[in-house]
Amino acid sequence: MSKKFDDEIGSFITELVKRNPGETEFHQAAHEVIETLIPFIADNDDYKHANILNRITEPDRIIAFKVNWEDDWGDIQTNRAWRIQFNNAIGPYKGGLRFHPSVNQSILKFLGFEQCFKNSLTGLPLGGAKGGSNFDPKNKSDGEIMRFCQSFMMGLFHYIGEDTDIPAGDIGVGAREIGFLYGQYKRLTNRFVGVMTGKGLSYGGSEIRTEATGYGCVYFCENMLNHIGESISGKTCVISGSGNVAIYAAEKAIDLGAIVLTMSDSDGFIYDMDGIDSEKLACIKELKEVNRERIIKYTEHYPKATYHAGKPWGVKCEIALPCATQNEINKNDAEELIANGILAVSEGANMPTDRTAMKMFIENKILFGPGKAANAGGVAVSGLEQTQNSMRLMWDREKVDENLRSIMGNIHKQCVCYGQDENLVNYVKGSNIAGFIKIANAMLAHGIT
């Protein structure tokens, strides 16, 4: 990249940091996008004159509110909550809700910003948003979860709607939480509409929604490998996490013939050199989803497997699927993966690879699927759920899965179209530019808004 572009990128990021002090996660997400967009925009005067870059990095609005709720002892607790509606140029705001003690405005801004590009890539008419609270659902009773969710929705329901903003789940917000949130919305508005996605099948949810992000991550990886004449079948695969994304990434990888070696939680990871098959994965599902146990318990059921503290990236593999949280792969992890002969990385989590590690993968010609492309499966099926709600019908599992696979294939095609660099596809560049063009053109069409 020329010094002119380096200086322009540096100047832009410096100003962005000044406007958004202390928001390191948002700075990181914006930097990764801006450094690919500034050289692209240099050849398009319309985008420059309309100041699209500054406008697209500024959220439309930030809604902040407190959530008071009663615990099981009768004491009143207070949490902070936000909904960041980032950009609705191509459709109503769409993005998940995260309940986790780490949640703050910076994290939600990074997630909302990424969501704009991710939603654009799906081809569906969806804008970008994110929200959540620093509430920790761990070790809370169902009653406490319900009371928190009902109070949270009291603060949120004014700002959402099926044609305005459609929240979904994220970390800490699963089927139980979505049920409580949707029930309270219905109670407050007396309306039964598709205002949330990730709903249960009994009240308007979609088949494959729970599995969608994990399935989509593997479908994207499959597309990257097929593009260079390789197959996912028979490849060794290391997965981080053991939540929905990780479990269903493992399920689809196994289904397509990959050999899954690891899964993890925040304490450590299990390594099964014989591979985690469908039966073993069912054991992990029961441990995590039913019994809410730590991943170490797996070794009690399968003694040949070993448990290790830390992250799984030192295990020799051909495919890495980071499905846990942001910045879980750093420079040292990338060095280990590259030294061990990694072929492809497909991000199931949001921004799980830091900027240094990401650049190392690209420089070493590793197939690298960034989250805004590789984990778009979840919001893609959320969009399909909205369609089904609007039409008052329900598609079967096969139809939804077929649509998901097609959408991930189309995202891959867009990345190839805009990310081709000599004999290598730069999927980061491709996804950023492809996602940007649709949003920017809509913003131009709308004038000054």
pLDDT exceeds 70 at position 137: yes
Percent with pLDDT over 70 in the chain: 100
Q: Report the alpha-carbon distance of residue 156 to residue 167 in Å, rounded.
A: 10
* Domain 212-369 classification at class level: alpha beta
Q: Report the alpha-carbon distance of residue 419 to residue 198 in Å, rounded.
A: 32
- DSSP output for 54-92: HHHTS-SEEEEEEEEEE-TTS-EEEEEEEEEEEE-SSSS
Q: Cα-Cα-Cα-Cα dihedral of 262, 263, 264, 269, to 10°? A: -30
Go through 288-311 and write b for each residue having 16 or more CB atoms within 10 A of its CB, e for each that does not: beeeebebbbbeeeeeebebeeeb
Write down the domain spans for the chain.
Answer: 3-56, 61-192, 212-369
Which runs of E-coded beta strand occur in 353-419?
367-369
Q: Report the alpha-carbon distance of residue 127 to residue 109 in Å, rounded.
A: 14
Give the model's pLDDT for residue 437.
97
Summarised one tens digit per residue, pLDDT across range 391-442 is: 999 999 999 999 999 999 999 999 999 999 878 899 999 999 999 999 999 9
Taking residues 353-361, what's their average pLDDT? Answer: 96
Give the model's pLDDT for residue 1.
60
Taking residues 19-27, what's their average pLDDT? Answer: 97
126 burial class (0-12, 13-18, 19+ CB within 10 angstroms)?
buried
- Per the residue annotation, which of 130, 280, 311, 429 is the catalytic one? 130
Taking residues 201-208, what's their average pLDDT? Answer: 96
SS3 28: helix
Residue 443 has φ and ψ, to the nearest 5°, of -65, -40
Q: How far is CA 399 from CA 245, 404, 405, in A?
A: 21, 9, 10
Summarised one tens digit per residue, pLDDT across range 263-306 is: 999 999 999 999 999 999 999 999 887 778 899 999 999 999 99
SS3 313: coil
When computed from its CA atoms, the radius of gyration of the chain, rounded to whole angstroms, is: 21
191 burial class (0-12, 13-18, 19+ CB within 10 angstroms)?
exposed
Q: Report the alpha-carbon distance of residue 324 to residue 388 in Å, rounded.
A: 30
Summarised one tens digit per residue, pLDDT across range 59-106 is: 999 999 999 999 999 999 999 999 999 999 999 999 999 999 999 999
For the domain covering 61-192, report its CATH number: 3.40.50.10860
pTM, whole model, 2 decimals?
A: 0.94
Question: Active-site residue 130, yes or no?
Answer: yes
- Taking alpha carbons only, the member of 166, 149, 192, 163 closest to residue 96 is 166
Give the model's pLDDT for residue 131.
98
C-beta separation of 296 from 307 below 8 A: yes
SS3 177: helix
Place of tokens 């051909």: 318
Question: Per-residue confidence at 4, pLDDT binned at 50, 70, 90?
Answer: confident
Asked, colleague to colleague, whether 61-192 and 212-369 share their fold, the answer is yes
Q: Report the alpha-carbon distance of residue 392 to residue 222 in Å, rounded.
A: 33
Q: Report the alpha-carbon distance of residue 394 to residue 397 in Å, rounded.
A: 9
Summarised one tens digit per residue, pLDDT across range 311-350 is: 999 999 999 999 998 899 999 999 999 999 999 999 999 9
Single-letter code of the amino acid located at 393? L
